[in-house]
Amino acid sequence: EIVLTQSPGTLSLSPGERATLSCRASQSVSNNYLAWYQQKPGQAPRLLIYGASSRATGIPDRFSGSGSGTDFTLTISRLEPEDFAVYYCQQYASSPRTFGQGTKVEIK
Amino acid sequence: QVQLVQSGSELKRPGASVKVSCKASGYSFTSYALNWVRQAPGQGLEWMGWISTNTRNAAYAQGFTGRFVFSLDTSVSTAYLQINSLKAEDTAVYYCARAMISDYWGQGTLVTVSS
């Protein structure tokens, strides 16, 4: 089983700042089958990034994904008020398709 | 537009069973697999497994074998999650999500298990 470790657990930032979220895998994620999701309270998760770096339909270009192998990053270039949420990474390269534990981006 | 609409909240006694539905619309139901994901109160996302809407083959993550059953009714483009012998620790929101990359999600179904 691939274990995904996200850091930091909580990120306290102000609107307009840059957010950098990390997702580290216990073993290489083949084909870079790594996705990022955003979840707001009381809502279902929303797909942001798949294939480590491809933005999903309708996702603003301030969201970008990078990385390969075992180290992946989600970057939000300038935080908007609606971006404060919890972010999860998930690998879908092998079963079980594990999630990271999440990073909460909160308003400073 | 693609939609996954899940059934409403459920309150069940320990030992009972529950069946959660996930009705798909806006795309060819048998073209994409469906995942099931659990989220316990205040916790993160946990992948339960997936079902092929084409072959009906299902795969379950460890911890979701035995009491958990994925099924389909392709005639009404609906997937089901049945949980048998419910326990208090099954209290959670259950989501269905489309395809390997989970590009569309249902709104979630809260299952509460309490005596």
State which residue of chain A sits closest to B96, comparing Cα positions: A44
How far from B50 is each of A42, A50, A55, B32, B81, CA to CA, in Å?
Answer: 23, 18, 23, 11, 10
CB contact under 8 A, A37 and B101: no
CB contact under 8 A, A50 and B59: no
The answer to whether the beta carbons of residues B94 and B37 sit under 8 Å apart is yes
**CB contacts, 8 Å: B108 with chain A:** 44
pLDDT tens digits along B44-63: 999 999 999 999 999 999 99
pLDDT tens digits along A82-94: 999 999 999 999 9
CB contact under 8 A, B102 and A88: no
CA nearest neighbour of A11 among A85, A99, A64, A67: A85
Task: Dump strand ranges (E) for chain B.
Answer: 3-6, 10-12, 18-25, 34-39, 46-51, 58-60, 68-73, 78-83, 92-98, 109-113
pLDDT tens digits along B12-28: 999 999 999 999 999 99
What is residue A33's three-state secondary structure? Answer: coil
Q: Report CA B78 to chain centroid distance, whole Å.
A: 11
CA distance A77 to chain B (A): 23
